[in-house]
């Protein structure tokens, strides 16, 4: 029987993400102990016969030496979560494949984004505050959006989430423009995208060269009644400059699922500006959606055992901290 372990510094996360049904599905093909191993457990136990690791958020960052000495028979790591940057490279150095549920995690973010896009096209968020008071109800009619026919949506970034958003938007009569994260790959500039689109949605990868690139000049160029959606990273926005524009341009709306810092500091104007709507970083996989990520990893394990090619293997050039 194949030898495997659950390795995670938070055993509750294994229970929450995998759930009993998926754990039993894995156990049909692997001898895997009941106990979830933390990093300290891993160091203390004999893991010389372990062939497979299953994990999620809380995966310990092992060194290359620890992998070679403690896991000489390791064949693969199955990570039921998204980014693997902080732990993957030592496994690559040991020629151990790392599988990630990054594509599964892209699905709920894309669904969340598309929901916000459609509501924004109708002017839903802009009209919310106006409609609360009797005197504002007439004004709320003036906040009606352009609607979801023929309008332009700009997706900043061309990764997995952006691709899924594009797929979901195919059922709507909208014009979607995509701006790759790297300038040399763009056929349209950030400046053109912000000034042309009615909805701008940020999906930039979490790289250092993207910090603060969405600045006040871009926000000031947005169309009357336009909406900015951020499910990417808060640090990619120059929030000070954005706030100043939003104070002047009350017609604009910002839907922020991420900020920097997160949550915003006490006293931040992001809490009080009427055209800013904050959510608590909920776009990614939550609760029941965690099981989708675990299912992806269980399926990868089964493909491997059947001699089939992996679908969600992570490579060095996919890591967000890569210098490439």
Residue ranges with strand state E in 56-198: 76-79, 98-100, 149-156, 173-179
Contact 88, 319 (CB under 8 A): yes
Contact 179, 155 (CB under 8 A): yes
Average pLDDT over residues 67-87: 96
Q: What is the pTM of this model?
A: 0.88
Tens-place pLDDT, residues 124-139: 998 887 777 776 666 6
Tens-place pLDDT, residues 280-313: 999 999 999 999 999 999 999 999 999 999 999 9
pLDDT value of position 53:
98
Tens-place pLDDT, residues 180-216: 998 889 999 999 999 999 999 999 988 888 999 999 9
pLDDT exceeds 60 at position 322 = no
* CA distance linking residue 272 with residue 269, whole number of Å: 5
Contact 310, 304 (CB under 8 A): yes
pLDDT exceeds 80 at position 85 = yes
CA 147, 150, 153, 158 torsion-angle sign: positive
Tens-place pLDDT, residues 228-283: 999 999 999 999 999 999 999 999 999 999 999 999 999 999 999 999 999 999 99
Average pLDDT over residues 95-103: 95
Tens-place pLDDT, residues 140-179: 666 678 889 999 999 999 999 999 999 999 999 999 999 9
pLDDT > 90 in the chain, percent: 85
Q: Which of 17, 245, 255, 11 is nearest to 113 (CA)?
A: 255
pLDDT exceeds 50 at position 323 = no
Characterize 68-77 residue by residue with b for buried, 16 or more Cβ atoms within 10 angstroms of its Cβ, and e for exposed: eebbeebbbb
Domains identified in the chain and CATH numbers = 2-100+287-318 (3.40.50.720), 106-278 (3.40.50.720)
pLDDT exceeds 90 at position 63 = yes
Distance of CA 76 to the CA centre of its chain: 23
Two tokens, residue 273: 């500006």
pLDDT value of position 252:
96
Per-position DSSP letters for 246-285, written without gaps between them: HHH-TT-EEEES--SSSSPPTT-GGGT-TTEEE--S-SS-
């Amino acid at each position: 029987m194949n030898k495997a372990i659950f390795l995670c510094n938070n055993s509750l996360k294994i229970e929450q993400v995998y759930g009993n049904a998926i754990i039993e599905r894995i156990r049909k093909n692997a001898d895997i102990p009941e106990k979830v191993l933390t990093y300290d457990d891993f160091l203390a136990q004999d893991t010389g016969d372990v062939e497979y690791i299953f994990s999620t958020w809380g995966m310990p960052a092992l060194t290359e030496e620890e992998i070679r000495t403690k896991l000489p028979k390791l064949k693969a790591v199955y990570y039921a979560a998204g980014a693997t940057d902080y732990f993957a490279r030592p496994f690559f150095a040991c020629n151990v494949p790392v599988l990630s549920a990054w594509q599964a995690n892209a699905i709920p973010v894309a669904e969340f984004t598309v929901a916000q896009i459609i509501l924004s096209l109708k002017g839903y968020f802009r009209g919310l505050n106006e409609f609360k008071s009797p005197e504002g109800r007439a004004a709320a009619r003036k906040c009606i959006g352009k609607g979801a026919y023929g309008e332009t949506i700009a997706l900043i970034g061309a990764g997995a989430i952006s691709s899924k958003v594009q797929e979901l938007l195919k059922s709507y009569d909208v014009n979607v423009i995509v701006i790759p994260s790297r300038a040399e790959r763009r056929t349209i500039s950030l400046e053109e995208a912000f000034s042309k689109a009615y909805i701008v949605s940020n999906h930039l990868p979490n790289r250092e060269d993207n910090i603060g690139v969405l600045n006040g000049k871009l926000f000031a160029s947005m169309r009357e009644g336009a909406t900015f959606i951020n499910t990417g990273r808060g640090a990619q926005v120059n929030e000070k400059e954005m706030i100043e524009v939003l104070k002047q341009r009350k017609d604009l709306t910002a839907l922020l699922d991420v900020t920097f810092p997160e949550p915003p500091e006490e006293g931040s104007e992001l809490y009080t500006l009427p055209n800013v709507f904050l959510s608590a970083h909920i776009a990614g996989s939550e609760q029941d959606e965690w099981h989708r990520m675990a299912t992806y990893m269980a399926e990868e394990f089964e493909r491997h055992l059947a001699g089939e090619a992996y679908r969600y293997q992570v490579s060095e050039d996919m890591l967000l901290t890569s210098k490439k």
